[in-house]
Amino acid sequence: MTVIETLDPLLTAESWKRAGRDVAIATVVETWGSAPRPAGSHLVIDGEGNFEGSVSGGCVEGAVITEALDVIESGEAKMLEFGVADETAWRVGLSCGGRIRVYVERLS
């Protein structure tokens, strides 16, 4: 049996920040309907687009990374909301429709 070690994204954020990297943290703050990741899930992103963790998957994750790079640049936090109908859910990374709200902030 192989054990795969996964790092807490918040520990990664702390490590990246200590190393002098610009970092943003995206947090799922609310979900409605079906969502692949629960409230409290984190994705950390550095100024070069490296990331660790997950807030959803699919196109949603890519959009959050893009917005996080803007947050790193501007320093202004953003609240993002994603929602889709059941018939288009898989294409954007939400398993069975539903909506998620993600808060993105720069780590100071």
pLDDT in the model for residue 4: 43
pLDDT in the model for residue 98: 76
Assessment of whether the complete model's pTM goes beyond 0.85 = no
pLDDT in the model for residue 21: 97
Q: What is the largest CA-CA distance in the chain?
A: 46
pLDDT in the model for residue 90: 55
pLDDT in the model for residue 3: 44
> Which strands make up the sheet holding 23-32, listed edge to edge?
51-53, 42-46, 23-32, 98-106, 78-84
The residues of the chain scoring below 50 in pLDDT are: 1-5, 94
Distances in Å between the alpha carbon of 88 and those of 5, 57, 61, 84?
33, 14, 16, 6
Q: What residues are paired with 106 via a beta bridge?
A: 24
pLDDT in the model for residue 106: 98
